[in-house]
Amino acid sequence: MRRVLSVIVLNEHGVLSRIVGLFSGRGYNIDSLTVAPLVGEEFSRINIVTSGDERVFEQIVKQLHKLIPTYKVIESGEFIEKEMALVKIPLSENLGGLDAVLKAYNGTIANSNENFLFLMVADDAMRIDNFLKTIKKYNPCDIVRGGSVLMEIK
């Protein structure tokens, strides 16, 4: 089962490798991972998408707590979850209908040059999945997903 969680950690040397090492060492999955410092604080926020049954997830949360630089593990409650995707489409493709697709997903054309269009979409991960399925017919030559960023609703 897909799970999301955020870890607030001291922004110090080696902290990310502690988190990543915990996952790899104990055989947990990381489906996506995003990291950035919290504004004006000594902490960083690490957003992790993982999978596992309830018991595994409970262990992941406890093990994350156990790391010395971990300040907080946010795992319950609802999140706003957004992920970004960039898509490169050859201009030579038939681009009919692209506008409507972009509109449906609040996407934009981020850039273009003589050969390609660069599309940008930010949405929840499942809708990004759908967007990428839809966009397949334009034969994208590159797709980059950014990993989920999370914010708790409360």
Partner 1 sequence: MKEISGSAMVCEALKAEKVKVIFGYPGGAALNIYDEIYSQTYFKHILVRHEQAAVHAADAYARMSSEVGVAIVTSGPGFTNTITGLATAYSDSIPLVLISAQVANSLIGTDAFQEIDAVGISRPCVKHNYLVKNIQELPRILKEAFYIATSGRKGPVHVDIPKDVTAALGIWDYPKEISMKTYKPNYKGHAKQIKKFVELLKEAKRPLLYLGGGCVASNASEELRELVKMTKIPAVETLMALGTLRSDDELNLKMAGMHGSYAANMALSECDLLISIGARFDDRITGKTSEFAKRAKIVHIDIDPSSISKIINAHFPIVGDVKVVVSQILDELKQEKIQIQTEEWLESLKRYQNLYPLSYDDSDEVLKPQWVIEECSRLAPDARIITDVGQHQMWVAQFYPFNFPRQLATSGGQGAMGYSLPAALGAKLAVGEKEVVINFVGDGSVLMNIQELMTAYEYGIVVINIVLNNAFLGMVRQWQSMFYNEHFSQTDLSKQADFVKIAEGFGCAGFNVTTKDEFRKAFKEALNAKQTTLLNVAIDRFEDVLPMVPAGGAIYNMILPKLKDKK
10 Å Cβ neighbour count for 144? 9
DSSP 67-105: STTEEEEE-SS-EEEEEEEEEEEETTS--TTHHHHHHHT
Closer to partner 1 by CB, 59 or 115: give it.
59
Within 28-67, the residues that bind partner 1 by CB under 8 A are: 55, 58-59, 62-63, 65-66
Q: How far is the CB of 54 from partner 1 (least distance, A)?
A: 10
Sign of CA dihedral 65, 69, 74, 79: negative
Closer to partner 1 by CB, 76 or 113: give it.
76
Taking CB under 8 A as the rule, does residue 2 contact partner 1? no
Q: How far is the CB of 8 from partner 1 (least distance, A)?
A: 9
Q: How far is the CB of 66 from partner 1 (least distance, A)?
A: 5
Q: Is 50 helix (H, G, I), strand (E, B) or coil?
A: strand
Determine contact, residues 16/69, Cβ cutoff 8 Å: no
Q: Given the rule CB under 8 A, which of 12-20, 79-87, 89-97, 124-132 is the region that contacts partner 1? A: 12-20
Taking CB under 8 A as the rule, does residue 134 contact partner 1? no
Determine contact, residues 106/123, Cβ cutoff 8 Å: yes
Give the separation between CA 108 and CA 99, rounded to whole angstroms. Answer: 9
Query: Which residues lie near partner 1 (CB under 8 A)?
Result: 9-10, 13-14, 17-18, 21, 25, 55, 58-59, 62-63, 65-66, 68-71
